[in-house]
Amino acid sequence: MNTAKGSEAGSERISEAEYAVMEALWHRSPQTAAEVCDTVREDRGWSMPTVKTLLSRLVAKGALETRPDGRRFLYSPLLERDIYVGGESRRLVQRLFGGRAAPLFAHLAENEALTQDDIAEIERLLREMKK
Amino acid sequence: MNTAKGSEAGSERISEAEYAVMEALWHRSPQTAAEVCDTVREDRGWSMPTVKTLLSRLVAKGALETRPDGRRFLYSPLLERDIYVGGESRRLVQRLFGGRAAPLFAHLAENEALTQDDIAEIERLLREMKK
DNA sequence: CAGTTCAGATTACAGATGTAGTCATAACGC
DNA sequence: GCGTTATGACTACATCTGTAATCTGAACTG
- Model confidence over B12-41: pLDDT tens digits? 899 999 999 999 999 998 999 999 999 999
B33 CA → D27 C1’, Å: 18
Residues A63, A34 share a domain:
yes
Cα–Cα distance, B29 to B73 (Å, whole number)? 12
Residues B67, B32 share a domain:
yes
Query: Which chain A residues contact residue B89 at CB under 8 A?
Result: 92, 96, 104, 107-108, 111, 113
Cα–Cα distance, B112 to B116 (Å, whole number)? 10
Choose the final residue of a domain: A38, A55, A77.
A77
Residues A62, A46 share a domain:
yes
Does B110 reside within a domain? Answer: yes
pLDDT at B9: 64
Q: Which nucleotides of C are covered by protein (CB under 7 A)?
A: 6-12, 16-22, 26-28
Residues B119, B71 share a domain:
no
- Model confidence over B62-109: pLDDT tens digits? 999 999 998 899 999 999 999 999 999 999 999 999 988 899 988 888
Residues B24, B52 share a domain:
yes
User: Which stretches within chain A are classed as H helix?
Assistant: 16-27, 33-44, 48-60, 81-97, 101-110, 116-130
- Find and give the residue nearest to D7, measured CA to C1': A72
Residues A94, A63 share a domain:
no
Does A5 reside within a domain? Answer: no
Burial of residue A53 (CB within 10 Å: 0-12, 13-18, 19+) is middle
A70 CA → C28 C1’, Å: 13
Q: Of A80, A86, A51, which Cα lies nearest the Cα of A63? A: A80
Using a CB–CB cutoff of 8 Å, tell me whether A117 touches chain B.
yes
Cα–Cα distance, B26 to B79 (Å, whole number)? 9
Does A94 reside within a domain? Answer: yes
Residues B44, B95 share a domain:
no
Does A116 reside within a domain? Answer: yes
With a cut of 50, say whether residue B45 has pLDDT above it. yes
- Give the closest of A88, A99, A108 to B101, CB-based: A108
Angle among Cα B48, B53, B54 to the nearest 5 degrees reads 100
Residues B124, B98 share a domain:
yes
pLDDT at B97: 92
Residues A87, A44 share a domain:
no
Does A56 reside within a domain? Answer: yes
Give how far B15 is from chain A: nearest CA, Å. 12
Handedness of CA A80, A81, A82, A86 (dihedral sign): positive
Nearest CA in chain A to B114: A101
With a cut of 90, say whether residue A12 has pLDDT above it. no
What is the domain-level CATH number for residue B26?
A: 1.10.10.10
Does A72 reside within a domain? Answer: yes
Using a CB–CB cutoff of 8 Å, tell me whether A115 touches chain B.
yes
Residues A65, A29 share a domain:
yes
Please give the residue range of the domain that contains residue A44.
16-77
Using a CB–CB cutoff of 8 Å, tell me whether A89 touches chain B.
yes
What is the domain-level CATH number for residue A112?
A: 1.10.4040
Does A9 reside within a domain? Answer: no
Choose the final residue of a domain: A33, A56, A77.
A77
Does A32 reside within a domain? Answer: yes
With a cut of 60, say whether residue A86 has pLDDT above it. yes
- Find and give the residue nearest to C10, measured CA to C1': B53
Residues A26, A73 share a domain:
yes
Cα–Cα distance, A59 to A18 (Å, whole number)? 11
More confident residue, B76 or A6: B76
Q: How many domains does chain B fold into?
A: 2
Residues B73, B29 share a domain:
yes
- If one counts every other C-beta atom within 10 angstroms of the C-beta of residue A27, the result is 11
